[in-house]
Amino acid sequence: MNLAFVAQVVLVLLVCEQRVDSSYKRGFGMYYNYYECGDTYALNNTYWWYNWHYNFTKDVTYHCPRRTRGEYLPMIANEADTLDAEIPPESKYVLGFNEPNEADHMSPEWCAELWPRVEKIAGGRILVSPALAACDIYPDMCIDWYERFFKACPGCRVDKIAVHGYHCVPYELLQSLGKISSHFNRPIWLTEFACHGNVSSQDQINFMNIALPLLEQASFVERYAWFSQRNKQATTFMPNFSSNLLNLKSPTLTSVGLFYNDYK
């Protein structure tokens, strides 16, 4: 066998291993305070969702039938969850801490110290790293954070790297994701994204129109989740609800939701 042929086979194997069916990538964050019965059914062409918690029934209010569609992914969001979380038996994945770098509320070293508990709760399931905020604009800050985390626990098991980013320029977002992925040689899960700021629904759709094909095509992006199905809390970062996939009071798609759900 000549070497060029071997190299080609290896390349094909690598590419195949990294490739994911695009339909598996798309998901959304289910904002837990604002669940309406039927939300998951309205987004019937998305594959997965999560709610920053490990218990999906937590959000399914008592008047709702406890039925949802799509793959639900549990999260061990914070230190308290490491004490008592129970993972639904059918889950294949477990998501790690939510934005520990936000206001530095959990240091990488502290997350590393807690990680063995996360591993124990997760059992043999695929483990997704703590999800860091602002990796779109500060990829190097995120790389430093994960470096410190891995240095503090070289034996810790992390199968995927999760990041958040609200960049409105899709190419720059993708560039940051690629940089982080190649640094740690792990696939990226973009578990929160949207275009931030005082922008319109049309701006969100224009953003998705460029960002979704890039995310689908990028072999280093395994999953992505829009923020969020419904938000009712205005912040200076997101002053209005233009990124909402679903209408405020009913489980029906907004124009943004229609675009996200229908994207092929």
Ligand X SMILES: *[C@@H]1O[C@H](CO)[C@@H](O)[C@H](O)[C@H]1NC(C)=O
Interface ranges with ligand X (CB under 6 A): 44-45, 55, 57-58, 86, 198-200, 239-242
**DSSP, res 23:** G
CB of 145 to ligand X, least distance (A): 30
Q: Is 5 or 264 the residue whose CB approaches ligand X more closely? A: 264
> CA 165 to CA 173: how far, in whole Å?
7
CA 185 to chain centre: 18
Q: State the virtual CA torsion across 169, 171, 174, 179 in degrees, nearest 10.
A: -110
User: In the chain, where do the E strands start and end?
Assistant: 26-29, 48-50, 71-72, 93-95, 126-128, 161-165, 188-193, 221-226
Are 20 and 26 in contact, with CB atoms under 8 Å apart? no
Residue 160 backbone dihedrals phi, psi, to 5 degrees = -140, 155
In the chain, the N- to C-terminal Cα span, in Å, equals 41
Q: Is 152 or 168 the residue whose CB approaches ligand X more closely? A: 168
Q: Is 198 or 209 the residue whose CB approaches ligand X more closely? A: 198
DSSP three-state, residue 31:
coil
CB of 93 to ligand X, least distance (A): 16
Q: Is 19 or 232 the residue whose CB approaches ligand X more closely? A: 232
CB of 53 to ligand X, least distance (A): 9
> CA 22 to CA 31: how far, in whole Å?
24
**DSSP, res 81:** H
What six digits make up the tokens of 113?
């110290």
CB of 245 to ligand X, least distance (A): 13
> CA 28 to CA 257: how far, in whole Å?
10
CB of 13 to ligand X, least distance (A): 32
CB of 195 to ligand X, least distance (A): 11
Q: Is 194 or 199 the residue whose CB approaches ligand X more closely? A: 199
Q: Is 42 or 190 the residue whose CB approaches ligand X more closely? A: 42
DSSP three-state, residue 47:
coil
CB of 82 to ligand X, least distance (A): 14
> CA 186 to CA 221: how far, in whole Å?
9
What six digits make up the tokens of 166?
């609200």
Q: Is 5 or 237 the residue whose CB approaches ligand X more closely? A: 237
